[in-house]
Chains A and B, each alone.
Chain A
């Protein structure tokens, strides 16, 4: 076991998989010589050479479009888009081709590629460097959308994403990159895509989140226990799409109350889909209206007001207390 940051853990996964599988190719802007602007791809060029670790020209559609071709040819491209705010130049390639090649070719051609890209606010960045637009990708049939929340699950999910037979958008919470360390097992560990996890058991209320927002959510759960004697069950979604509703439906059947936390804008965000599934599958178990604690439906402000925009433990705590106080 080694204590790692998320950057170290992701880097470990890339080294492990490039070592294990020669068809894995890493490409993107500044991923080779510079080792990635967040250093996630550090040391790959030295270890695997410039045929497998490529600094590309500055063109997001080019990176993704060529990755699709590579994937069809039998390679396993792990493409990096430097910030998710720049991934929209590649939107057409992902929506029109990566997501549909299997369908369009009747299963003959597949696109086993990963698009890694940092998302999330909270790092005092410039415009376009702080958004959370996971809903775009989760809304596209044919794409998988994964968001780890800790070093250990980041490593385990990235390994699974690279091995997955379908295209995976892998959002890395940059606010977590170096925020804390966690024990990551020496031996290879993979976590299945499409599976949420109960990270803390409880029977009073269900709190659902993912990515960078797991930290304020867990902090709120701690304070609920300490200050209110309330036991919250906390679920980490991990894969936004395909969404595992069984885990949270079972939990809500037990608790009857639910709070959903994400930093993406509220309207049409992942929380809306979670609520819809709860209404469809656990309606008669619900004891209070669902609460969403989210980013507002505005452009995320430049960093002076960023803290106020992002859901905080205080905001999560307040919403959860209100949910708990509701008597049907």
Chain B
């Protein structure tokens, strides 16, 4: 036949397990998550939400600088990292506070970084998270390289990388998928499609119907999930992790979610999107849906939630106090800017550090 349809190996499935209110749509799809983990997921999700609100308040008071709020995307992050091991790697973009809290990063460290102190980027022992990557779409390539290393050593860990809908327009993103496909690396590509790349809506970002199908073009299987349904995200991640560990290669998961807050605190979404749209998504936000699910299962009561809220409030306050104390201590540590540039400090840099040390000392003399 001179002209026929080519049979392509993949299609894009859409997976959801909870409805908008948090009731199970299909019990057969419900992932088997231990009770203890479900409750911990709830606790960290609530913590991520409240911490986000507190950071916004601190930013508005001028106590920290610009940051990218996570509100609305907690399930799309935590559902992914929850089924993974501590020895797996996470390669984030710049909005992964919820996933990072789950994976052992402290609230204090976020406050330090967003308070302008790079000391907050110190990697806690035993964690395998790369630091935030601000340039959009550049980091999935690192995830592929990391996972190649794992595969090369014959280990069965994997690497998960997060990026947004806007990142799928970057060339680096496509290169990462292509390399992962060719090398069959244990990589999970997670697109948090939150519908907006600052002011540009998803529909203007690309003419393709789904973002997941972009992976198909590189021979990487992909699916869409309701990103505000933590069970669907968890199930998809578990399946992708199994494939990765079995040597079957990468998967892309497109989480359909929504940025309920601003792109960063420097942004005003009222300039480009309608309040009705936000309200529509507010109804589908992940926290209340997960709470309803847990209540239906008899694992959580309103009293439990109230108690957890109180505990979290105190923990956040402790973190803010600790971070502000630490910031005060670090104020005079400007000379640390010369550290960590090279394994060995070149002589000219030592001279520059001396120059600054003299200047700071002279200044102290004048101020004193």
| A binding-site residues for B, Cβ under 8 Å | 29-30, 33-35, 37, 55, 57-62, 85-86, 88-89, 124-129, 266-267, 296-299, 301-306, 308-309, 314-315, 318
Contacts and interface: CB of A to CB of B under 8 A. Distances in A.
A96 to B, nearest CB: 14
Contacts of B271: 33-35
Contacts of B348: 267, 297
Contact of A34 (B66, B198, B205, B359): B198
Contacts of A306: 116
Nearest to A55: B200
B284 to A, nearest CB: 25
Contacts of A266: 352
4 nearest CB pairs, A to B: A304-B116, A58-B166, A34-B199, A303-B116
A89 B359 contact: no
Contacts, number: 117
Contact of B352 (A61, A86, A126, A297): A297
Interface stretch (B141-149, B223-231, B333-341): B333-341
A314 B363 CA distance: 10
Interface string B303-329: 000000000000000000000000100
Nearest to B132: A127
Interface of B: 65-67, 94, 113, 115-118, 132, 134-138, 166-167, 169-172, 197-200, 204-206, 264, 266-267, 271-272, 327, 330-331, 333-334, 336-338, 341, 348-349, 352-353, 356, 359-360, 363
A58 B333 CA distance: 37
Contact of A33 (B113, B134, B166, B272): B272
Contacts of A296: 337-338, 349, 352-353, 356
Contacts of B334: 301, 305, 308
A303 B327 CA distance: 12
A89 B137 CA distance: 10
Contact of A297 (B115, B327, B349): B349
A41 to B, nearest CB: 12
Given A89-B172, A296-B337, A30 B199 contact: yes
A301 B94 CA distance: 18
Given A60-B170, A129-B134, A296-B352, 12 more contacts: A30-B198, A33-B200, A33-B271, A89-B135, A124-B66, A125-B66, A126-B67, A126-B94, A126-B264, A128-B135, A301-B334, A304-B331
A299 B338 CA distance: 8
A86 B338 contact: no
Nearest to B197: A58
A309 B352 CA distance: 11
Given A89-B135, A296-B338, A308-B360, A302 B117 contact: yes
A250 B115 CA distance: 46
A298 B117 contact: no
Given A30-B200, A299-B341, A304-B330, A315 B116 contact: no
A129 B116 CA distance: 13
A33 B273 CA distance: 10
Contacts of B67: 126
A305 B112 CA distance: 13
Contact of A89 (B117, B170, B272, B349): B170
B113 A58 contact: no
A297 B348 CA distance: 9
B61 to A, nearest CB: 14
B337 A126 contact: no
Contacts of B349: 296-298
28 contacts: A29-B198, A33-B200, A33-B271, A34-B271, A37-B267, A55-B199, A55-B204, A57-B204, A58-B137, A58-B166, A58-B169, A58-B170, A58-B197, A59-B169, A59-B170, A60-B170, A62-B169, A89-B171, A125-B66, A127-B132, A296-B353, A296-B356, A299-B341, A302-B118, A303-B65, A306-B116, A308-B360, A314-B363
Contacts of B134: 85, 126-129
B197 A59 contact: no
A267 B206 CA distance: 42
Contacts of A30: 198-200
A8 to B, nearest CB: 18
B115 A304 contact: yes
A305 B65 contact: no
A99 B363 CA distance: 45
Contact of A58 (B66, B167, B336): B167
A35 B271 CA distance: 9
A304 B329 CA distance: 12
Contacts of B363: 314
B269 to A, nearest CB: 10
A125 B172 CA distance: 24
- Of the candidates A34, A267, A315, the one having the most CB atoms from chain B within 10 angstroms of its own CB is A34
A309 B359 CA distance: 11
Given A58-B166, A296-B352, A303-B65, A29 B116 contact: no
A57 B169 contact: yes
Given A29-B200, A57-B169, A304 B341 contact: no
Contacts of A88: 135
Contacts of A89: 135, 138, 170-172
A124 B265 CA distance: 12
Given A34-B198, A58-B166, A302 B356 contact: no
B117 A304 contact: yes
B355 to A, nearest CB: 8
A37 B269 CA distance: 11
Contacts of B170: 58-60, 89
A33 B359 CA distance: 46
Contacts of B272: 33-34
B338 A298 contact: yes
Contacts of A55: 199-200, 204
B141 to A, nearest CB: 12
Contacts of B330: 304
